[in-house]
Amino acid sequence: MTLATLPRDATARSLLGQLSALDRFLPVWIALAMAAGLALGRAFPGLNAELDRVKIGTTSLPIAVGLLGMMYPVLAKVRYDRLRGVTADRPLVLSSLVLNWAVGPALMFTLAWVLLPDLPAFRTGVILVGLARCIAMVLIWNGLACGDNEAAAVLVVLNSVFQVAAYALLGYFYLALLPGWLGLSQTDVHFALWDIARSVLIFLGVPLALGSLTSLIGRKRKGDAWYEGRSLPRIGPFALYSLLFTVVILFAIQGRAITSRPLDVARIAAPLVAYFAVMWTVALVWGRVQGLAYPKTVTLAFTAAGNNFELAIAVAIGTFGVNSGQALAGVVGPLIEVPALVTLVYVALWLGRAAGPDMTRGDV
């Protein structure tokens, strides 16, 4: 069913019903995981020392397993075989690259410095979120908003591959070079540049390689119908299970700092909420100016506004440590993302209806 044929009174009823219970109530599960982590931290004050006994790089093994578990299932969902057609729609692809790798990071950098000038650790964590571009989770929001699923799949693959090469360099630029040019305080990049690159290679490069092999081999041997109907439903939930596991551990370790500074934690949400609203609106307007029809316009908007919080959390932990404010800023991200993007799905559907049937055509 497309946006053009969806009954007006059925839109609101069906939207959230298309999400699984795990996805629909993700903010609730994250809040419960936070509470469980705080309780665990009080019960076992020496938990951090125990977790640090075995490490992958600079990250304790249990947390590393959780971070890898977040990334692999979502990357296994992607249709890598469609990357060959990435140049077929150059206006859409070029618009996505500009929005994701020029506009998005610059916007988050600006919001972080304006809204968190006195909280450098949280500010750095929010900037790391802004550098981590959309992944497969955005396919959910795009599908609910009746976007172009083919185009979304291609853009997700493109951004995933681009992140491996670009994330560390952009981190160096926005954490060291640009603040220095503007006369602002800088992050110590003597350790951060290589640590960021190593974290990206481990926590994005490894699951990207495994996810692409799983997708390509599974689809080739069993077919798309079997892979999407039987395999993905089995491995997909482990992404959110791993996220919740990681949240529990993080809040168990950071519990005392969190409970003593609740206002600071709340302030992390401000640049994130502003970012979602501004970035999505800019991308939507950009798409219409480019002459894209509704499906591709909304795809451009959601792939530009969505972020890879899993990668941001992994980089923050691997670079600055599990006890850092940077890691906490990354954890707050998905708590804000789900309700914000669900709201934007409703806005997209309303705009599509207001524009009439011409906007809902699949042609450009």
Residue 81, pLDDT > 90, answer no
* Range among 161-170, 189-198, 349-358 rated most confident: 161-170
Backbone angles phi, psi at 55, to 5 degrees: -130, 155
Portion of the chain with pLDDT greater than 90, in percent? 21
Q: Where are the domains of the chain?
A: 57-350
* pLDDT score at 325: 85
Between CA 349 and CA 2 the distance in angstroms is 11
The pLDDT value recorded for residue 136 is 62
pLDDT, average across residues 91-113:
93
pLDDT band at 235 (very low <50, low <70, confident <90, very high): confident
Q: What is the pTM of this model?
A: 0.77
Distances (CA, A) of 225 to 7, 89, 138, 219, 222: 28, 26, 21, 8, 8
| pLDDT exceeds 70 at position 144 | yes
> Comparing 58 with 234, which gets the higher pLDDT?
234
Neighbouring-strand partners of residue 55: 60
What pLDDT does residue 82 have? Answer: 65
Identity of the highest mean pLDDT range in 19-33, 44-58, 61-75, 162-176: 162-176
204: pLDDT strictly greater than 90: no
pLDDT category at 124 given cuts 50, 70, 90 is very high
Q: What is the pLDDT, as a whole number, of residue 17? A: 56
| Confidence grade of residue 83 (pLDDT, cut at 50, 70, 90) | low
Is the model's pLDDT at 296 over the cut of 70? yes
| Residue 276 clears pLDDT 90, i.e. is over it | yes
Q: With left for phi above 0 and alpha for psi between -120 and 50, is residue 291 left, alpha or beta?
A: left
pLDDT of residue 354: 67
Q: Percentage of the chain with pLDDT > 70?
A: 82
Q: Which CATH number does 57-350 carry?
A: 1.20.1530.20
- Mean pLDDT throughout 230-256? 82
d(CA 315, CA 307): 14
Q: Tell me, what's the pLDDT at 297?
A: 92
Q: Which residue has the tokens 């503007």?
A: 182
User: Which of 42-56, 114-128, 197-211 bottoms out in mean pLDDT, i.e. has the lowest?
Assistant: 42-56
**Torsion-angle region of residue 69: left (phi > 0), alpha (psi -120 to 50) or beta?**
alpha
Residue-averaged pLDDT of the chain: 80
What does the alpha-carbon distance between residue 227 and residue 214 come to, in Å, rounded to a whole number? 10
Query: What pLDDT shows up at residue 232?
Result: 87
188 pLDDT above the threshold of 70: no
